[in-house]
Amino acid sequence: MGGTLALLSRRIKFPLLTANSSGLQVLGPFAMGARELGVDPLSAYGKLLIDFLLTRGFEAIPFSATDRYPSELADNGFVKWMKVNTNRDQTVGPVNFDNVRWDFNQEPFGWTSLHHATYFRGSFIVPNAGIYIVSFDHVVSYKIDDKAFVGNVYGFKHASGTAMYLESGLHKLYICAVMDVRLFGGAVPPKVIFTGNFDFVDQSTSSRNIVLFNDDSIIPEVLDEKLVTPYFSLTVMNTYVENIVWESNGTNINEDFFNSSNQIDQFGELTLGQQQESGSGWVQILGVRAVANGETPIKAEIPVLFSLKLAPGQIYPLPIDVDFKAEQLDGTVLSSVYFFLDLYDLDTKERFQIQSSIFELQSRVWGDPYKITFMDYDNSVHYAMAVPPKNPCSSIGRADCPVILALHGAGVEAENPSWTEAYKRQEFAWILFPTGRTPWGFDWHGPSNLNVEAALHTLTHLHGVPPLFAETLGVNPNKLIYSGHSNGGQGAWWMASHYPDRALAAMPASGYMKIQFYTPYYMRVGDAYTDPIFRAIMESSIAENDIDMYAANMAGIPILARTGAADDNVPPLNTRRIVRLVNEWNRNPNSVDLSEVHGQGHWFSGIMNDDDLNDFLSSNLDPERNPGLLLPPLPEAFTISTLNPGSTGSKGGLKILQLEVPFRLAHIRIHREGNHWILNTSNVRRFGFLKDERVNIASWEIDGMSFNEPPKIGPSYLRIEGEQEWKPVPDLLWISEERYWSTYGPAAQILNHPFLVVVPSNPKVISASTYQRNARLIATSWYLYGRGGTQIIRDIDVRDGIAAKYHLIVLGGPEDNLFTKRRETEGGTENTKLVKFLEGGGYQIHNRKYQAKGTGMLFLAPSPTRTLMGMFITGIDEIGFKRAVWTIPFRTGLMVPDYLV
């Protein structure tokens, strides 16, 4: 956290073990599937009777030098407790498990046998009570005393931890460290290493509890002495959190804590006494001022249309729009900027300000890769790198320059020169290097895909392009070459298969076919307890990202697939299989070019830039070889497939808008006989025709029904209920009455639009502090995984205008949250509502009631205007509510459908 303001230089070393302790207590390893969270192989063991209720699991198991626990990873099938110390650099791990033969296990089961979970616990001493910013790198989550927090599992540099108040004295720490080959690689033995930091916040400074994370900022660049784009991002945190005083309540937390029966509630959470809270701690951001080159004030503003209020503990990436003109500096080149934030304490009614560090601006010259910054869809600022064409590729007044989308691999920063220099600068095309929001992003799905769209839109404005060149370098965002490496190669396959009508060509390298092919799911522990039909429903919630299922959509697209023949990271089998499938849909065994480079691995010099690839690009991008830079012609017969219309574009101008059965595969098969099209459908309820210059339909038929006129562009066609007949629908009124592509789900779709978190203003069932703390958890998680920003608002402040503009994550049932109560009343008749809330707690879905303690629920429902949606999260009690909050899928590969109990 170098460069962070309002922090003292002192940092608690992790973990500060007490004098009588010999290290962290460790139990493991236990088998764990890829992206499998919440499965506890120790939940059957340990036993504590508290208030006549039994609790089990890791936190209830006393340390023992002789006890052993079953694990299929270990020789003889059992593991024992051990102790480890922190390393000199304050990291923990890797742990050496002498009784596990990783290489032997890997021979039949591959990488997935390396996935495992290891449990750690220990204690540390806080020398001075106060607010600390706590972060744990390469940990999914962790607990301090009785509270759980999100960890920085990817080790992002932008992840700035969680603000928490810690009393002086002894505290307990629990960590479940998960080995994931996507994070740590496939080394044998697997090496899991994590670390934790505790930074003390000095509340005596003029900045009070407000902290700026200067190292997390996004800064634009200067090109040929001019600011390219005006958008900056400055991450700010309101570190004020509840001053919680733990009363002893007869429980003495001492060094013998883990070796005795301590006060633990029925769900394994430590009960450390009553909480006493003081103050509300909300702060409003009033405005921003900028200073250039150390002394010259320049105009700056916050480009959002709403009042920015930071809840206690909330982190927010603040967008800043700088209105800079060169004459303000009397001809001096802009080289640095710093900011003053003006703030208002809503408790004391006082104004104050904080100052950022000085940001030095990178200077570029025309022809270099350069940075463009922009406002993404959720009002947060992101960046992309751009490389302009060498030559004009459009006539004056026309925007005809294609764009090569260069999608980076997992863990790669888009501005890294080794990535931006991996492609040869093109004669007649732009190259765009988007971030996908973070180095890991969302596997180029969902928010990452929307980030690409925002970057493309910004590129069309030609920021930084000299006026002399701007007339002939216009960008056509609908003529794309999908390309990328590794995770980005998968992203290129995904975009080509989901948005084929924009594909001029595709050039994926070393890409996997779907996440289950990269790190197989067949070792998932939870599957042993799951009904196969239920498991199918869960898997359907992520199946829209299976490229093999969407291979039909790539028919007719020129593709050069690249892989190293010796790639042991993403084996060539992935690329070969996709090539085979597309060739089948093309009915041509040689339609897709496969470049498999003998003796090369996952990454090698020239992987994105050699004669084969450059010749392929030239064949599609050279106006002499591809006159007019036209999109490829449509095959005489083709198919458009989808599992979710919300993540699928059009093929041949045809777009599926609704399914008869959601999350079941839908097709439209098209056979062209000149200008007469024959369509046959499966599981399609509604579709539409979009304008496509390649399409000229004089007459058509669908499922045996004939239309002796061209189709209508724009309106939809609807299957008549129970019939094989179709009728045109001339308007969009159905969108306000039915679920459609933007409100289908699954749960991850809540992240695909700006959202707000709605907390109860006067809860009765669950405490206000629990709602506030979990709202902060959601905001922190969105910043961590997507570098996104959200606002936390009260239920009484939700008006129709807000619900019409934002998705809402609504915390609490109708007894606690007034907006939930309102939506329950407005949600329709008893026969149409998905969820019915029962008096006295609990829920009913159709004829099934859920009333057990510890039950939580998450479900999607349309907003009052029905064009957006809400995610409602509630629990019968506090434990159930928290369980439901932790199921929000902030990472790809997590299986959460429309609703989950």
Domains observed in the chain: 7-203+244-259 (no CATH), 206-239+278-365 (2.60.40), 366-629 (3.40.50.1820), 645-736 (no CATH), 747-900 (3.30.379)
The model carries a pTM of: 0.93
Other beta carbons within 10 angstroms of residue 302's beta carbon come to: 18
Q: Which two tokens stand for residue 416?
A: 């890294």
Q: State how far the Cα of 216 lies from the Cα of 218, in Å rounded to an integer.
A: 7
Q: State how far the Cα of 278 lies from the Cα of 275, in Å rounded to an integer.
A: 10
Q: Which two tokens stand for residue 833?
A: 């509502």
Q: State how far the Cα of 321 lies from the Cα of 310, in Å rounded to an integer.
A: 19
Q: What is the percent of the chain where pLDDT is above 70? A: 91
The CA R_g of the chain, rounded to the nearest whole Å, is 28
| H or E, element range at 680 | strand 676-682
Query: Lowest mean pLDDT: which of 171-175, 477-481, 737-741, 845-849?
Result: 737-741
| The one-letter amino acid at 330 | D
List phi, psi (to 5°) of 899: -150, 155
Q: Which two tokens stand for residue 487?
A: 């995770």
Q: State how far the Cα of 362 lies from the Cα of 415, in Å rounded to an integer.
A: 12
The stretch 42-70 carries a mean pLDDT of 79
pLDDT above 60 for 278: no
Per the CB < 8 A criterion, the answer to whether 479 and 402 are in contact is: yes
- Mapped onto helix, strand or coil, the DSSP state of residue 682 is strand
Q: State how far the Cα of 351 lies from the Cα of 339, in Å rounded to an integer.
A: 16
DSSP at 821: H
Q: For the chain, how far is it from start to end, CA to CA, in angstroms?
A: 38
Other beta carbons within 10 angstroms of residue 219's beta carbon come to: 18
- Mapped onto helix, strand or coil, the DSSP state of residue 556 is coil
Cis amide prior to 189 (ω within 30 degrees): yes
CA atoms within 13 A on the CB side of 878: 18
The stretch 369-387 carries a mean pLDDT of 97
Torsion angle of the four alpha carbons 658, 660, 661, 665, in this order, in degrees rounded to the nearest 10 = -70
pLDDT tens, position by position, 690-732: 999 899 999 999 999 999 999 999 889 999 987 889 999 999 8
Other beta carbons within 10 angstroms of residue 730's beta carbon come to: 9
pLDDT given for residue 570 in this prediction: 95
Q: State how far the Cα of 778 lies from the Cα of 757, in Å rounded to an integer.
A: 8
List phi, psi (to 5°) of 802: -70, -45
Q: Where are the alpha helices (DSSP H) in 138-193?
A: 181-184
- Mention every residue, 6+ apart, whose C-beta is less than 8 A from residue 577: 513, 548
Give ∠ CA 285-287-289 in degrees, rounded to 5: 135
- Mapped onto helix, strand or coil, the DSSP state of residue 701 is strand
pLDDT given for residue 250 in this prediction: 29
- Mapped onto helix, strand or coil, the DSSP state of residue 728 is strand
Would strands 843-845 and 848-850 be described as parallel, antiparallel, or unpaired? antiparallel
pLDDT above 60 for 256: no
The stretch 169-196 carries a mean pLDDT of 90
408 burial (CB, 10 Å; 0-12 / 13-18 / 19+) is buried
Cis amide prior to 29 (ω within 30 degrees): yes
The stretch 805-833 carries a mean pLDDT of 82
Give ∠ CA 681-685-686 in degrees, rounded to 5: 95
DSSP at 460: H
What's the distance, CA 879 to chain centroid?
25
Query: Lowest mean pLDDT: which of 142-146, 195-199, 329-333, 855-859?
Result: 329-333
CA distances from 363 to 223, 258, 292, 295 (A): 6, 56, 15, 20
Strand partners, 364: 223
Indicate the pLDDT class of residue 64, thresholds 50, 70 and 90.
very high
pLDDT given for residue 395 in this prediction: 62
pLDDT given for residue 599 in this prediction: 96
Would strands 363-364 and 222-223 be described as parallel, antiparallel, or unpaired? parallel
Q: State how far the Cα of 95 lies from the Cα of 177, in Å rounded to an integer.
A: 11
| The one-letter amino acid at 44 | A
pLDDT tens, position by position, 194-223: 999 999 998 777 778 899 999 999 999 999
Per the CB < 8 A criterion, the answer to whether 507 and 560 are in contact is: yes
Strand partners, 288: 341
Longest dimension (CA), the chain: 88
Indicate the pLDDT class of residue 582, thresholds 50, 70 and 90.
very high
Other beta carbons within 10 angstroms of residue 846's beta carbon come to: 8
List phi, psi (to 5°) of 774: -80, -25
- Mention every residue, 6+ apart, whose C-beta is less than 8 A from residue 896: 538, 541, 746, 747, 748, 858, 887, 888, 889
pLDDT given for residue 51 in this prediction: 44
Indicate the pLDDT class of residue 5, thresholds 50, 70 and 90.
very low
Q: Where are the beta strands (DSSP E) in 146-257?
A: 147-150, 162-166, 169-179, 194-201, 210-218, 222-223, 226-227, 231-238
Q: Where are the beta strands (DSSP E) in 219-314?
A: 222-223, 226-227, 231-238, 283-292, 296-301, 308-310
Category of 107 on φ-ψ map: left (φ > 0), alpha (ψ -120 to 50) or beta: alpha
Q: Which two tokens stand for residue 791?
A: 């606002």
Q: Which has the closest alpha carbon to 484: 393, 576, 368, 575? A: 575
Per the CB < 8 A criterion, the answer to whether 741 and 646 are in contact is: yes
What's the distance, CA 439 to chain centroid?
11
Q: State how far the Cα of 1 lies from the Cα of 161, in Å rounded to an integer.
A: 9
pLDDT given for residue 266 in this prediction: 27
User: Mean pLDDT for the chain?
Assistant: 88
